[in-house]
């Protein structure tokens, strides 16, 4: 039993100490996908910023003012 456990441990150590084979390099499409995601994020944030400055937001001064009907 003890010898079997030692053998298993040795095999695991050999596997763990072996050099790691890296996966194939990422395809150029991965880079393009990241660029497109970043561009979309910038476009959405920029559009929101322009919309915020184009539309006037009137923040109510109190809860009562929020609940009263506007005339």
60 touches 66 (CB < 8 A): yes
pLDDT tens over the chain, length 71 residues: 777 888 888 888 887 777 776 666 666 778 888 999 999 999 999 999 888 888 877 777 777 777 777 65
User: Measured between alpha carbons, how far is 8 from 1 in angstroms, rounded to an integer?
Assistant: 11
Helix (H, G, I), strand (E, B) or coil at 15: helix
3-state DSSP helix/strand/coil % of the chain, to nearest 5: 70, 0, 30
């Amino acid at each position: 039993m003890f010898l079997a456990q030692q053998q298993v441990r040795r095999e695991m150590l050999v596997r763990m100490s072996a050099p790691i084979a890296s996966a194939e390099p990422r395809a150029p499409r991965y880079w393009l996908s990241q660029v497109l995601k970043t561009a979309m994020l910038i476009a959405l944030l920029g559009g929101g910023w322009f919309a915020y400055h184009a539309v006037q937001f009137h923040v109510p001064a109190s809860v009562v003012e929020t609940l009263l009907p506007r005339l």
